[in-house]
Amino acid sequence: MKITVVTAVYNRAATIAEAVASVQAQSYASVEHVIQDGGSSDGTVATIERLANASTRLRSEADHGIYDAINRGITRASGEVIGLMHSDDVFAHDHVLAKVASAFGDPSIDGVYGDLQYVAADDLTHVIRQWRSSSYDMARLRRGWMPPHPTLYLRCEVFQRWGLYDTEMRIAADYDAMLRYFVKGGITLAYIPEVLVKMRVGGESNRSLGHILRKSREDLVAIRRNGVGGIGTLAWKNFSKLSQFIMKEGTSA
């Protein structure tokens, strides 16, 4: 089974090398790394070209934002399973994709996800937030539950049947897509109860008060259009994040 890892990137020369190296270090052999660059001008493309191996598929062209770039990457993927590696992120260890592949050994499974660590931008060992997920339960969606999007891997048929990311959304298209796949698609999910991805803090959704407000508005649109609730679901979704800052002993990198 081939796994395609899609990376959308634009002017991330400072971090893209670590993301690429993290994919290449995976012990699972059948991996394709599709990199969709938005026309970077800071040396990002040169860095990728220097590190590229036989599994790297790089394309650099103008796009209409991160979700458009991700969609372009997904349409270029040839793997039976597709997931994302953001240009600021790394896998938690070298056997993540092997564990993902093992979970997909069950033909009834449509998607696999795990836990996520938010780490300092300048120190991947400094854990700031710990996102422990849980086994999927439809009822949890109405309480604002969602799996960490950077850890989610889906069979390519999920995208083919239920569509890609809504590019009209600028921040919450991932949440909207997951709700669509889970609720309308009724897909079957498997949970790997360990950290799969380390994500640097400072993402698009928390960049400013304006971005936070826009994200909340888009989240509410996603909640309503996918039939999982309303304002109460949004409130629970935001409230549930507080527990991510309470880290127990043994959660450091």
Share of the chain above pLDDT 90, in %: 80
- SS3 string, 131-152, reads ECCCCCCHHHHCCCCCCCHHHC
Contacts for 213 with CB less than 8 Å, ≥ 6 apart: none
Which residue spans within the chain are E strands per DSSP?
A: 3-9, 31-37, 56-60, 81-84, 89-91, 111-120, 123-131, 153-155, 189-200
pLDDT category, 211, cuts 50, 70, 90?
A: confident
pLDDT > 50? residue 248: no
Confidence band for 250, pLDDT divided at 50, 70 and 90 = very low
Q: What's the confidence (pLDDT) of residue 231?
A: 87
pLDDT tens profile 11-34 = 999 999 999 999 999 999 999 999
Cα separation, 234 vs 249, whole angstroms = 30
Cα torsion through 252, 97, 158, 89, rounded to 10: 40
Q: Indicate the pLDDT class of residue 113, thresholds 50, 70 and 90.
A: very high
Q: What percent of the chain has pLDDT over 70?
A: 91
* pLDDT, tens digit, 9 for 90 and up, residues 219-243: 999 999 999 988 888 886 776 666 6
Residues 169-180: tens digit of each pLDDT: 999 999 999 999
36 pLDDT band (50/70/90 cuts)?
very high
Mean pLDDT, the chain, rounded, equals 92
* Cross-strand partners of 36: 8, 59
Q: Taking the alpha carbons of 14, 112, 133, 179 in that order, is the dihedral positive or negative? A: positive
- Radius of gyration, CA atoms only, the chain: 17
Confidence check: pLDDT of 252 > 50: no
What is the pLDDT at residue 212?
A: 81
**pLDDT at residue 30, as a whole number:** 98
Beta strand 189-200 with 3-9 is unpaired
The confidence band for 204, taking pLDDT boundaries of 50, 70 and 90, is: low
> Amino acid identity of 11?
N
**Gap between the Cα atoms of 110 and 103, Å rounded:** 10
User: Domains of the chain by range and CATH?
Assistant: 3-245 (3.90.550.10)
pLDDT on residue 193: 97
Going by C-alpha positions, the residue among 44, 41, 58, 53 that lies closest to residue 14 is 44
